[in-house]
């Protein structure tokens, strides 16, 4: 794997020599990131390609002042990969049936799972953007292509409305029954919605993530999916103030009294004991939140049950690298990256044509999602 390194003359750029020789042009940064992503090293060794963006003026200046093409063998500088740990029984049982589409970002358990999360091509828009026939065709194509991990949420589809609440889970359940998919051949994941002042059709908000809300949410998801158990049950977003959905700075003034994590873990533990769920995942979490959940579960059986964190991750949003990557590596927690194509922006379909992309594309159908994209996926360094 090669990339292009650009040197800027210190006398004209005003930079110290040590800084000038470390500058890499913005185009090379993106190309290197894409190459690393294809090689499956984007998550584990992202520091090789995470560089500050450069303005167009600086880019033109560097090419005018002088540049030198240098071949850098990236692979020779990669540290050895961590030894894979033993997979949980659930994942070991289906490992031989799983194919990578595409290689997932996994820092710990070496989960050979094909992630079919809502933002990339999955259930998040099923029931709103795509009707039942199209959703069934999409699920058929994914399953036939080797995908066996399906992620949903009780609040889906988006944009969320009272009239469509829960349809994504219902469509996924109808597909399982219509195609007579063996329950042991797929891994089903879904999420409980955190506190929200807008979605009052979901348990009046929901007001909080106390044990009653979590228990009711699990029972409702099981009913909509039409299954006896859920493989991976995730807290969609925390029941406390955290900077998320595009925010990057913590503001202590926004703190509020929330349901203790101990109570949330108690509810999830009871659901595991009852056979309703098997493993626990977090979503839109911070390093503090992940480590606190692990600390509180340390002296119980739940410590081995917390497997994943599902956060936004793509070439435009790399917040995961700042702190969560280290936590996940040492604690053997896997990242489920949602919005890997930045809601389709990175596919080029919205700006490579004069008409702004297909009329039935998500951000053309739902104009409000344009703002969601801006705050959700442009947290660039």
pTM tops 0.95, yes or no: no
pLDDT tens figures, 342-376: 888 888 888 777 778 888 787 777 776 655 555 55
pLDDT of amino acid 295: 96
Most confident listed range (31-40, 114-123, 241-250, 366-375): 241-250
Q: What is the DSSP string of 197-214?
A: SSBTTTTTBT----HHHH
List the chain domain ranges: 10-77, 89-377
pLDDT tens figures, 177-210: 999 999 999 999 999 999 987 899 999 888 899 9
Is 7 tagged catalytic? no
pLDDT tens figures, 93-141: 333 333 323 333 333 333 334 333 433 335 888 999 889 999 999 999 9
For a pLDDT cut of 70, what percent of the chain falls above it? 64
**Among 292, 164, 318, which Cα is nearest to 238's?**
292
Q: Which residue has the higher pLDDT, 41 or 296?
A: 296
Superfamily assignment of 89-377 in CATH?
A: NADP-dependent oxidoreductase domain (3.20.20.100)
Which one from 7, 26, 156, 250 is the annotated catalytic residue? 156
Exposure on the CB side of residue 182, measured as CA atoms within 13 A: 4
Q: Is the pLDDT of residue 62 over 60?
A: no
Q: How many residues does the chain have?
A: 381
Give the integer Cα–Cα distance in Å for 374 and 52.
Answer: 19
pLDDT of amino acid 198: 83
What is the end-to-end Cα distance of the chain in Å, rounded? 24
Please provide residue 372's backbone torsions phi and psi, each rounded to the nearest 5 degrees.
-60, -40
Q: Is the pLDDT of residue 80 over 80?
A: no
pLDDT of amino acid 285: 95
Most confident listed range (171-175, 192-196, 298-302): 171-175
pLDDT of amino acid 31: 54
């Amino acid at each position: 794997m090669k990339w292009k390194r650009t040197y800027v003359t210190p006398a004209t750029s005003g930079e110290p020599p040590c800084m000038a020789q470390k500058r890499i042009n913005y185009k090379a940064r993106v190309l290197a990131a894409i190459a690393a992503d294809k090689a499956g090293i984007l998550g584990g060794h992202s520091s090789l390609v995470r560089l500050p963006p450069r303005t167009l003026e600086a880019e033109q200046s560097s090419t005018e002042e002088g540049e030198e093409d240098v071949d850098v063998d990236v692979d020779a500088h990669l540290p050895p990969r961590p030894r894979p740990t033993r997979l949980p029984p659930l994942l070991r049982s289906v490992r031989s049936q799983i194919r990578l589409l595409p290689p997932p970002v996994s820092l710990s358990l070496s989960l050979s799972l094909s992630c079919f999360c809502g933002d990339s091509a999955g259930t998040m828009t099923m029931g709103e953007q795509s009707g039942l026939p199209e959703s069934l065709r999409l699920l058929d194509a994914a399953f036939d292509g080797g995908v066996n991990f399906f992620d949903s949420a009780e609040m889906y589809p988006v944009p969320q409305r009272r009239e469509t609440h829960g349809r994504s889970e219902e469509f996924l359940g109808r597909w399982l029954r219509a195609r007579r998919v063996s329950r042991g051949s797929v891994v089903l994941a879904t999420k409980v919605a955190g506190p929200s002042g807008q979605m009052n059709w979901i348990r009046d908000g929901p007001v909080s993530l106390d044990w009653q809300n979590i228990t009711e949410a699990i029972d409702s998801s099981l009913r909509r999916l039409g299954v006896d158990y859920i493989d991976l049950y995730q807290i969609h977003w925390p029941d406390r103030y955290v900077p998320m959905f595009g925010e990057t700075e913590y503001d202590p003034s926004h703190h509020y009294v929330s349901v203790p994590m101990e109570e949330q873990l108690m509810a999830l533990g009871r659901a595991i004991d009852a056979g309703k769920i098997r493993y626990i995942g977090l979503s839109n979490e911070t390093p503090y939140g992940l480590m606190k959940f692990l600390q509180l579960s340390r002296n119980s059986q739940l410590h081995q049950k917390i497997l994943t964190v599902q956060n936004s991750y793509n070439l435009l949003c790399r917040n995961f690298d700042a702190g969560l990557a280290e936590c996940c590596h040492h604690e053997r927690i896997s990242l489920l990256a949602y919005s890997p194509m930045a809601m389709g922006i990175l596919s080029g379909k919205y700006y490579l044509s004069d008409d702004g992309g297909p009329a039935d594309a998500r951000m053309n159908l739902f104009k409000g999602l344009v703002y969601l994209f801006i705050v959700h996926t442009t947290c660039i360094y």
